[in-house]
Structure 1
């Protein structure tokens, strides 16, 4: 069987890592639960957690057919929750630093949460990588394995103006 290029396999995974609603990822009390979701197709597999919409593992064969995980990251979800790195995570609302944790939009100054000295890094101390995303849909295998995650950032979260939904 011919192997699809890695990029063709990753594009649906990475594109799908952004969507959902509050039902499937919640417990009986309505609280969101953190989980690890494995997607697999042939020799390819990927693991994603809804903690920060983080890719924790991508395994596929090398040119000699040996399987290997190519994702740099932690071994447990607790390490992602308690860690200070951004391994495999979506960052937001901004990737990189906002100098002096402030910016001007339409003449108004917005002050952000400073979490990197005097700067705001990757959306603040509770950016998209440090929240539980909602799992809307999860299909682990078959012809089209995928996961759909969703996060709604409210107006004023970490100092950013306006609501924003990642879908």
Structure 2
């Protein structure tokens, strides 16, 4: 019985040592994994007290191949109504006449998400095509405007450089 206890103790110590080596070898801090960047911007309401309330977000994210995505999330939408989303050059206080992207998402009465740009390397602004990678995007001046009709704006928010 005494011999069995001695071997059990040795076996336990060796198992613990091997597990410790295994945990160190499997460390998740791997320097070869690329770090993707992302930045989030707020959309606010436009009427009265709503102008201080965050009603949605816009997320710019970088992909492995250096393309970018731009995803708009509205916390609430108007049921059975198209929510028109516009990415416009300039800022809310100094808009330009160039609309970069227009898209829409069907309202459900609940939160909705729309990918406005996906795997984009460049955008067309007016007659110009410009590089649109993560670094150039965050230095670009633009804003998002969401409406349920042409004149009924429900949310706005500066994005990229305009949000600084």
Assess same fold via TM > 0.5: no
- Tell me which protein shows more strand as a share of its residues: 2
Higher relative CO (Cα under 8 Å, sequence separation at least 6) belongs to 1
TM-score range relative to shorter protein: under 0.3
